[in-house]
């Protein structure tokens, strides 16, 4: 996973002097913070291919990683594998800057895939759920923020968490040649980070 925040920007944010002997630990904290933000918000930094196995019975299929760049295929594994035709569903949330509005109060960067199996209102919302079944639907897609497309809000969240961990070195619980284990949970409770969390995860969907 790439990091949308550079070491130079992080050092400026931390007011760390140029050529600091602490560059390695700052990079370690920066990468760990980016991983934590990605996990908490359900996004990826860098575009990659994904395969989600999703349950049916809902009005939409929601990808586990966002933002979605393109849907490659949707397959029904209920009895024998059947690929759903492109014209049988409608996708919203495929632009890096899209926000999917649901009931007028929540937002998310992940894609929602709606079936066009019944009459559809003028807003494009479906009138029928995806057929039920545990692990019935397999969605293959590419997703993640391409270089240079990560929203400033997420970059600031990464910088903020890095700064909090840097100022509280106890956040680093272990280090090794393979990396470090960093606990950001206590920093994520801060008001700023909580607002980022609620906005990008869209828990109320």
Same domain, 90 and 123: yes
CA distances from 179 to 116, 137, 162, 175, 176 (A): 46, 36, 15, 6, 5
CA distances from 96 to 6, 32, 149, 204 (A): 20, 22, 7, 21
Asked, for residue 2, whether it belongs to a domain, the answer is no
DSSP lists the bridge partners of residue 73 as: 140
Asked, for residue 124, whether it belongs to a domain, the answer is yes
Among 143, 161, 184, give the residue marking a domain's end: 143
DSSP code of residue 167: H
pLDDT in tens, 99-121: 333 333 333 456 677 776 544 34
Total residue count of the chain as it appears in this document: 205
Q: Report d(CA 129, CA 39) in Å as an integer.
A: 28
Asked, for residue 1, whether it belongs to a domain, the answer is no
pLDDT in tens, 54-104: 998 887 888 888 888 888 999 999 877 889 888 777 777 655 444 333 333
Asked, for residue 80, whether it belongs to a domain, the answer is yes
Domain residues for 75? 48-143
Closest CA to 167 of 59, 43, 25: 25
pLDDT in tens, 145-167: 999 989 888 898 899 889 988 88
């Amino acid at each position: 996973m790439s990091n949308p925040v550079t070491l130079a920007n992080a050092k400026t944010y931390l007011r760390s002097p140029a050529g600091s002997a602490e560059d390695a630990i700052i990079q370690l904290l920066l990468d760990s913070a980016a991983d934590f933000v990605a996990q908490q918000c359900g996004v990826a930094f860098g575009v990659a291919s994904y395969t989600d196995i999703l349950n049916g019975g809902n009005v939409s299929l929601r990808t586990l990683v966002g933002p979605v760049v393109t849907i490659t295929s949707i397959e029904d594994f209920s009895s024998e594998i059947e690929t759903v035709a492109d014209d049988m569903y409608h996708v919203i949330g495929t632009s890096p800057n899209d926000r999917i509005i649901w009931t007028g109060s929540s937002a998310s960067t992940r894609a929602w895939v709606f079936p066009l199996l019944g009459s559809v209102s003028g807003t494009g919302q479906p009138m029928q759920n995806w057929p039920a079944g545990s692990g019935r639907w397999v969605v293959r897609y590419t997703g993640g923020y391409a270089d240079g497309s990560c929203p400033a809000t997420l970059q600031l969240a990464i910088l903020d968490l890095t700064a909090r961990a840097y100022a509280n070195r106890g956040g680093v619980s272990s280090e090794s040649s393979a990396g470090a284990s960093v606990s950001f949970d206590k920093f994520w409770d801060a008001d700023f980070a909580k607002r980022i969390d609620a906005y990008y995860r869209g828990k109320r969907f």
